[in-house]
Amino acid sequence: MTATTTDLSRCPMAPRSVRRRRLVNTVITTSSWIAAAIGIFVMGWIVVTVVVRGIGAWNVAFFTQLPPTGNDPGGGLANAIVGTLVITFGAAVVGLPLGFFGAIYLSEFGRAGRVATGIRAVTNIVLGVPSIVAGMFAYALLVLPSHHYSGFSASVALAFIMLPVMTRTAEDVLNLVPNELRESALAMGAPRWRATLGVVVKAARAGLITGAILAVVRVAGETAPLLFTALSSPYWLSGFFGPSGYFGGPTANLTKDIYDFSQQPYPHLIQLAWGGSLLIIVAVLGVNVVTRLLFQRGKEW
């Protein structure tokens, strides 16, 4: 035996207590089970409550008619459904491409450079900004100068929330693509843009699609940013300009209607609010399931 190795027999290792190990194991396993059970129970409770209370509101009128005026029961949230879809779509049109190309810049070109580091820092800050600030931002940017609320300003507010979410997830997904793939494409004589779009993005596409959809779903249920932007409207969204247009005036949307109607003393309006909540939950769940299917299909190319 050389001088550098320790003589192990001189410091015998006491075996660790098996009983202690088993106890620790049991405690940790049990507590994680309990934590998981509480989480699932609360979520299940919410879903069940919303289904039980909301399903009664779902009839043909709910999906096709305007909210009731005055005290007569009946009517629906059709204008708010359309409004929410349009506002969310508008936000996606602005927010997703910006986030996508921002992420490409960060992961493929900027990397550890100063500009990219700055963008990343700003992205992280914006991620943590309460969503009502996004609403104030769009209010100051669009509503104040134009002197009217609009669906478009709501889209901008939601895009502002969507952008950092998309940028972050897309950058993370692109960073998972191994460098060998980038090198292989470049080594084939591909120009940088072609290697990026044709190979790197393609390799990451399942994750990018998932990230994009989750970013959209993330904002679809937002209420606060709509308070100062879309506001709400008892009318149908009609066209782009004019007092009921997307750019021209307040736009009906589900979350604001849920918020307003749930405060009313009339049971039929409260019922509509539950119906709207159920619709949002079903839509978000549905989109999640579809995304998962897409994700799996994406893996098989």
Partner 1 sequence: MVDIMDTIEPGAESAVDRPLPPRLEVTPGVASYDTPAQFDALPSKLSVHDLDFFYGKEQALFANDLEIKEHRVTAIIGPSGCGKSTHLRCYNRIYELYRDQKAMGEIAFDGANILAPGTDLLSLRRRIGMIFQKPSPFPMTVFDNIAYGLRMHFKLSKSELSERVEDALKRGALWEEVKNKLNEPGLALSGGQQQRLCIARAIAAEPELILMDEPCSAIDPVGTAKIEELLQELKSSYTIVLVTHNMQQAARVSDYTAFFFEGRIIEFGATTQIFEKPVQRQTEEYITGRFG
C-beta separation of 245 from 239 below 8 A: yes
- For the record, the structure tokens of 37 come out as 């059970």
Residue selected from 129, 181, 281, 294 as contacting partner 1 according to rule CB under 8 A: 181
Residue selected from 191, 242, 243, 286 as contacting partner 1 according to rule CB under 8 A: 191
Give yes or no for residue 94 binding partner 1 (CB under 8 A): no
Q: Which residue lies nearer to partner 1 by CB, 11 or 112? A: 112
Residue selected from 76, 83, 99, 110 as contacting partner 1 according to rule CB under 8 A: 110
Distance CA 105, CA 116 (A): 8
Over the window 3 to 42, marking each residue x when it contacts partner 1 by CB under 8 A and - when it does not, the resulting string is ----------------------------------------
Give yes or no for residue 118 binding partner 1 (CB under 8 A): no
Query: Within the chain, where are the H helices?
Result: 18-54, 60-64, 78-104, 114-128, 131-138, 144-146, 151-176, 179-187, 192-195, 201-203, 205-220, 224-227, 254-261, 267-299
Give yes or no for residue 193 binding partner 1 (CB under 8 A): yes
Distance CA 103, CA 177 (A): 13
C-beta separation of 273 from 258 below 8 A: yes
User: For residue 22, with 0-12 CB atoms within 10 Å meaning exposed, 13-18 middle and 19 or more buried, which class applies?
Assistant: exposed
Amino acid identity for residue 137 in this structure = F
Residue selected from 42, 115, 125, 144 as contacting partner 1 according to rule CB under 8 A: 115
Site stretch for partner 1 (CB under 8 A), options 126-134, 180-188, 258-266, 270-278: 180-188
Return the number of other C-beta atoms located less than 10 Å from residue 189's C-beta.
8
Give yes or no for residue 241 binding partner 1 (CB under 8 A): no
- For the record, the structure tokens of 157 come out as 């507010």
Give yes or no for residue 184 binding partner 1 (CB under 8 A): yes
Give yes or no for residue 202 binding partner 1 (CB under 8 A): yes
Residue selected from 203, 212, 226, 279 as contacting partner 1 according to rule CB under 8 A: 203
Give yes or no for residue 185 binding partner 1 (CB under 8 A): yes
Over the window 271 to 300, marking each residue x when it contacts partner 1 by CB under 8 A and - when it does not, the resulting string is -----------------------------x
User: For residue 268, with 0-12 CB atoms within 10 Å meaning exposed, 13-18 middle and 19 or more buried, which class applies?
Assistant: middle
At its nearest, how many Å lie between partner 1 and the CB of residue 103?
15
Site stretch for partner 1 (CB under 8 A), options 64-72, 173-181, 241-249, 256-264: 173-181
Distance CA 258, CA 276 (A): 6
Binding site for partner 1 (CB under 8 A): 109-111, 113, 115, 178-194, 198-199, 202-203, 205, 300-301
